[in-house]
Structure 1
Amino acid sequence: MRLLFSYLLIGVTLAQGFMAHSALHQGFTGLYAQALVGAALTAVLAATLPFRQLPWTLFQGSVLIAGYLWLVTSILLVGRGDVEAGTVATGSLVMATSAFMWLPPRVAILLAATGYAALWLPVLGKPNVPALLAIGVVTSQLWYLSAHGRSVQKERIQNELLSQMAFTDPLTGLLNRRSAVEQLKQLTLNPQNRTGGVALVLFDIDHFKGINDRMGHHRGDEVLVAVAGCLSEGEEQVPLAARWGGEEFLVVCADSSSSGAISTAERILARVRQMTLPDFPPVTMSGGLVTLNEAVAIEELLTLADMRMYLAKARGRDQLVSRASE
């Protein structure tokens, strides 16, 4: 978007440079000064916009201010004979369009109405009533299209938020249980995932109830968010990470072999073990790993992973249990 506007500004700069050259030769000193200043301003905007030195809102404000200053000076230049009234009418529509695109509705309506009212000024000569009425209709249509576009965009954003809420956990930002089950179904349908290198792991934070009881649920939430960040921050192949419920997390580890999947899960446990939280004792997790070739149904895989997770807790916590270590 920035690059596109930069190219448009370059085109405007060249056009204004040509206009300044033509105005100078024809003796239109006012138009020459206007075009020269406009070319310099658009050249600066075109140069800075692609490299993000110029914030987008500042760019919009600069364009609108420059545009309406051009409109005012053009009205004054009509009286000198440097600019034709039709140019002002076209400029009014262009600025109304920009205002409706970038400004709050009330401000945009005020500016568009002011620009339209200026077209009736005596300095522009005898008003062409049919043409001015047509411009008024077009300006009203621009307002309607802008309002409709804002409404559609607002509805789309709301739908995206609702969709996100339906499939993600609001605290950790991970997938929720419902979404994880759907993705597990897709993973198990692929025969290539049944070769032994793809595994699902159920993790449970050790002594989490004690954390909530001693330090409060808000500190417990901090632990959940921190652990969620550890699940997929490494370079491992983790195609799925979800909050399964409470202090439980589900992770799918993908590797070329079952030993590789086990190593991925072990590295996740190590990251959790090494993380530091202010005024917190070390946090650990227990995990149960099952490769997708150990059972056919998802329910069987989850039951087996759950059994191994509790076996890890029974063996002293802070460890992973898989078929190889049962």
Structure 2
Amino acid sequence: MNILVWHVHGSWTTAFVQGPHSYLVPVLPDRGPDGLGRARTYAWPDSVRELSPAELRDAPVDLVVLQRPHEAALAEDWLGGRRPGRDVPAVYLEHNAPDDDVPRTRHPCADRDDLLLVHVTHFNRLFWDNGSTRTTVIEHGIVDPGHRYTGRLDRAAVVVNEPVRRGRFTGTDLLPALAEAVPLDVFGMRTEGLADHLGLPPDRCRTADLPQRELHDAMAERRLYLHPVRWTSLGLSLLEAMHLGMPVVALATTEAVEAVPPGAGVLSTRPEVLADAARRYREEPRAAAEDGARARRAALERYGLKRFLDDWDRVLEEVTHG
């Protein structure tokens, strides 16, 4: 099957393109958001091909995976007038939890009968107003990085992009109190200046933007994974940390309560409980390693790559052949 899919989320796409199909990824000269092409920091198979809009015009496409509202118009234009959902089968993949007036947030694809709306978590499907559009949930899958955990550094790994700008969404305001319990190493894009923003000394809050090939090893050296995010879809970094064998300390919000079972870490809506858990893991490396091993087993069972690809193949077959 030839599948047109934009390179929007690197980690999710990396799992998706491990399937048995051909993946057509748009590329533009500037490699901007609508034409990133193949990933440069993730390992993608040869079945992923970059195509320019001109090359897509006459390309055989069996299905379009839409991920952003404007992609439908882009696809129709670049596919020479073939409209997703009418002339070529389509699904809309929703990565995100709704924002703004959440209980009343209407999905851009609500009340459509020409495509299937796929959510990545049951929480997201519950909180979006999907109208009459057919929906399903395909939970995340992870390319297993292996059990790399050493926990040799008595610090917490945090992975978040733009923590200063996103503020309360990512729980940035909670970090000073948590940093009293365990020093933080914050990885992600645009994290510079975070310690100054929070008024923390450099030894209590360090930041780095690492390429994916280095990030997993860096995370696994830290004693625990800290997930202070208030409102988001289920962060793939959380699932990656569990695959690495890290114990998890996380806010009990959104889908995290489903992803982290008892014995794999500590979940709470009380920051002081999270601080106590982080302090305990810092002081008890053996307990941290044992809970991390349970986290890995749980992640492999629920978020393994085979289950993810099998779920997608069932949906692709349904959408293309009825």
Same fold, TM exceeding 0.5?
Answer: no
Larger Rg: 1
Q: Which structure has the higher relative contact order (CA within 8 Å, separation 6+)? A: 2
TM-score class, shorter-chain normalisation, is: under 0.3
* TM-score, with length taken from structure 2: 0.22
Select the structure that is richer in strand: 2
Select the structure that is richer in helix: 1
